[in-house]
Amino acid sequence: MKKKFQDLTIEIVKGDITRQTDIDAIVNAANAFLRKGGGVAGAIHKAAGDELEKEAVSLGPIKPGQAVITSAYNLPNKHVIHCLGPVYERDVPHDKLLANCYDNALELAEKHELKSIAFPAISTGIFGYPVEEAATVALNAIKEKVPFLSHIKLVRMVLFSDNDYLAHESVLKKW
Ligand code: ADP
């Protein structure tokens, strides 16, 4: 499903973030030390190769809501933007910190003059953020950033399960 904002498209798809061949930067739901880890980070590091961890670790540690950018190595993208999401009910206010992730990642992509960026549903795995709540925070944070973006023309959220997709679809349908 897609929504257009003049010449910028916000899109949701079901899929794997490591397979976004048409996207300039993919976003990693990182850990504070930017090490390989599990979940989406594990999949991204596995697809990128060992060089990614070497570069990423040198930029850490980061705090919840922060983002850093690296090369994408063996991935089919130019860059990986690593964001540390909040752990639900531990890193507070979790909604503000989660919105900061999207805001800071978009800012980095814009600064690097990238045209497209793909996000996973940050914090909704191991970090325990309920996906229905996270979907509202994520999509609203992206929408609020639209007026400040000139290079970015496509923002895609890549959802790993039917349930995650449906949670995001119900937010987009209300716009
Ligand atoms: P966090 O620690 O921020 O919660 P996780 O990696 O545990 O991060 O999960 C974040 C989300 O990414 C979850 O919804 C999970 O299902 C999803 N996910 C896991 N692997 C992939 C993948 N290859 N592509 C897209 N999303 C993925």
**CATH code, domain with 68:** 3.40.220.10
Beta-strand relationship, 67-71 and 8-14: unpaired
Query: From the CA of 159, how far away is ligand 1's center (Å)?
Result: 8
Question: What pLDDT is attached to residue 8?
Answer: 97
Q: What percent of the chain has pLDDT over 70?
A: 100
The answer to whether the peptide bond before residue 120 is cis (omega within 30 degrees of 0) is no
Question: What pLDDT is attached to residue 115?
Answer: 98
The answer to whether the peptide bond before residue 93 is cis (omega within 30 degrees of 0) is yes
Distances (CA, A) of 165 to 54, 113, 157, 161, 172: 32, 28, 9, 6, 11
pLDDT digits (tens, 9 = 90+) for 22-81: 999 999 999 999 999 999 999 999 999 999 999 999 999 999 999 999 999 999 999 999
pLDDT digits (tens, 9 = 90+) for 87-134: 999 999 999 999 999 999 999 999 999 999 999 999 999 999 999 999
Q: In total, how many domains does the chain have? A: 1
pLDDT digits (tens, 9 = 90+) for 139-172: 999 999 999 999 999 999 999 999 999 999 999 9
40 in contact with ligand 1, CB cutoff 6 A: yes
Question: What pLDDT is attached to residue 34?
Answer: 98
Task: Report the atom number in ligand 1 closest to the C-alpha of 41.
Answer: 6
120 in contact with ligand 1, CB cutoff 6 A: yes
Residue 46: which domain range?
2-173
- Angle between the 162-174 and 131-145 helix axes, to the nearest 10 degrees? 50
